[in-house]
Amino acid sequence: MHITIIGTGFVGVVSAAIYASLGNQVIGLDVDQEKINKLKKGQVPFFEPGLEDLLIEQQQAGKLSFTTSYQEAISQSELIIIAVGTPSAPDETADLRYVMSSAESLAPYLQKDAIIAIKSTVPPGTLEKLMELVKQQTKVKFYGASLPEFLREGSAVHDTLHPDRIVIGATDDFVFEKLDQLHQALNAPIVHCGVASAQMAKYTANTYLATRITFINEIANLCQKNGADIEEVINVIGLDQRIGQHYWYPGLGYGGSCFPKDVKELAAYSRTVGEEGNLMNKVNEINKQRIFDLLINFEKQIDGFANKKVAVLGLSFKPNTDDMREAPSTKIIPYLANKGADIKSFDPMANYEQFTKEKYQNHQQVNTIEEAIKEADAIFLVVEWPEIVQFPYAQYKENKPQTIFDCRNQLNPEIIKQANYQYVGIGRS
């Protein structure tokens, strides 16, 4: 099948490489010339394990190419997959301007019977608006579909090759047949449903996972008050088969490129339909406030951050990615910097200043954990990169009071305390 993927970000590049590896002829299209130049040279503009090898392999096989030209890409495609960003607008709804502008740009070059599938996360009603917009600019018959994406950054190649399900939201048998054919080789359940259901399913999945994180954070707050240990509590509840051990992450709150914006969109949508007090709105508000409440609490525990040497370990929003969208570090570092701390940060892949464009006199990103924690009064373990979790902190204990804020509950508190650190976890004493 001849496929164009519009938007060569995380989702677009992964999808393009995987669809090519399934034997399709794929073109990746982006308005960002610099990104396309890199991709043409076989360079992935972000860190995603396993992706660069796959990209180069498919380019060399002649199955995958990149362009900034809508005419070149669309005029030879039977399937156009839109994978542009849908960030939060200031009113917290999904900003659909990139989706709509890609629709406007592609419309003049559409082939007869082409399918336009939206893979970007968009609210119900978006496909219909997009189809209307395209119809105004073309006379050819074309189809629409919703093809939501469920991959996780950090394991995106694996997730795309082994998805839990493929969801196709459409109204025409022709579309279901073509998209079934495309995904058959993945050997995953293929779910056919209405367009609005497909889009709601994507928001529901992300909002549920964000709610699970928020729920366990609220329980962790209570544990902190009464001497219970959240990890022991999770172990007990997890044995209940209705609940399960997986996906319990007490911490600083959810971040990343998707959960915050998708919960915001569902909360904003709820407000427009008279459900302003609902769970999504509460989850959104609780999560936005959480990290600041914890920072205030941590600050009290070490008698203020002013003039303290502080190490921040982990800058990306989770391990195995350099993505810093809504990463806890983007709130912790400005907070500490404004309090007058002397900050050294470390991450194996992410670059703070490059991503945030923020420079603080009292913040320096260093290349090793040893450098970051040297003479530190406080160590923040923010992201569970293996090298950060497995670091032998006990061997580096200095002869002065030092506190480890284990923001992901990754360390063994007993070992840390035996090494004479003060240990502060989440929902555990």
Positions in 77-96 near ligand NAD (CB under 6 A) = 83-86
> Which of 60, 69, 101, 204 lies at the binding interface for ligand NAD (CB under 6 A)?
101
Give the active site residue among 193, 223, 258, 407. Answer: 258
Count other Cβ atoms within 10 Å, centred on residue 101. Answer: 13
Whole-number Å distance between alpha carbons of 93 and 265: 5
Task: Give the x-and-dash track for 296-335 against ligand NAD (CB under 6 A).
Answer: ----------------------------------------
The only residue of 3, 4, 5, 8 in contact with ligand NAD, by rule CB under 6 A: 8
Minimum CB separation from ligand NAD for residue 215, in Å? Answer: 22
The CA-based dihedral angle spanning residues 40, 78, 85, 72, taken in that order and rounded to the nearest 10 degrees: 40
Residue 114 lies near ligand NAD (rule: CB under 6 A): no
In the bound complex, what is the minimum distance in angstroms from residue 380's beta carbon to ligand NAD?
24
SS3 label, residue 136: coil
Least distance between ligand NAD and beta carbon 74 (Å): 11
Closest alpha carbon to 156 in 73, 83, 251, 246: 83
Cα 387 to its chain centre, rounded Å, is 21
Check binding of 63 to ligand NAD (CB under 6 A). no
Tell me the window of 3-11, 162-170, 219-227, 305-313 that interacts with ligand NAD (CB under 6 A).
3-11
Residue nearest to ligand NAD (CB): 9
Task: Give CA–CA dist 396/394, Å, rounded.
Answer: 5
Q: How far apart are CA 429 and CA 427, in angstroms?
A: 7
What is the size of the binding site for ligand NAD (CB under 6 A)?
27
Please answer whether residues 362 and 334 qualify as being in contact, where contact means their C-beta atoms are separated by less than 8 angstroms: no
At residue 177, the 3 state secondary structure works out as helix
Active-site residue 258, yes or no?
A: yes
Taking a C-beta distance cutoff of 8 angstroms, is the pair 142, 113 a contact? yes
- We find the least distance from the C-beta atom of residue 122 to ligand NAD, in angstroms, to be 7
Q: List phi, psi (to 5°) of 310.
A: -125, 130
End-to-end CA distance of the chain: 57
DSSP-derived pairing of the beta strands 363-365 and 190-193 = unpaired
Distances (CA, A) of 249 to 6, 245, 253, 305, 318: 34, 10, 9, 26, 12
CA dihedral 291→297→299→301, nearest 10 degrees, is -140
CB of 86 to ligand NAD, least distance (A): 4
5, 16, 26, 29: residue in contact with ligand NAD (rule CB under 6 A): 29
At what angle are helices 259-272 and 195-226 packed, to 10 degrees?
Answer: 110
CB 199 within 8 A of CB 131: no
Stretch binding ligand NAD (CB under 6 A), from 100-108, 177-185, 222-230, 247-255: 100-108
Report 243-282 residues binding ligand NAD (CB under 6 A): 257-258
Q: With CB under 6 A as the contact rule, which of the stretches 25-33, 129-137, 209-217, 233-241 interacts with ligand NAD?
A: 25-33
Does position 28 interact with ligand NAD (CB under 6 A)? The reply is: no
The token duo for 419 is: 């090494």
Backbone torsion region of residue 247, taken as left when φ is above 0, otherwise alpha when ψ lies between -120 and 50, otherwise beta: left
Tell me, residue by residue from 116 to 155, as one string, x for binding to ligand NAD by CB under 6 A and - for no binding. ----xx---------------------------x-x-x--
Is residue 35 close enough to count as binding ligand NAD by CB under 6 A?
yes
CB of 304 to ligand NAD, least distance (A): 37
Strand partners, 193: 169
Among positions 24, 77, 93, 102, the unique one binding ligand NAD when judged by CB under 6 A = 102
The reply to whether 24 sits near ligand NAD by the rule CB under 6 A is no
Of 3, 5, 6, 216, the one binding ligand NAD (CB under 6 A) is: 6
Q: Does 214 bind ligand NAD (CB under 6 A)?
A: no
Length of the chain: 429
> In angstroms, what is the minimal distance from the CB of 97 to ligand NAD?
8
Name the residue nearer to ligand NAD (CB basis): 168 or 234.
Answer: 168
Active site residues: 258
| Contact residues for ligand NAD, defined by CB under 6 A | 6-12, 29-32, 35, 83-86, 98, 101-102, 105, 120-121, 149, 151, 153, 257-258
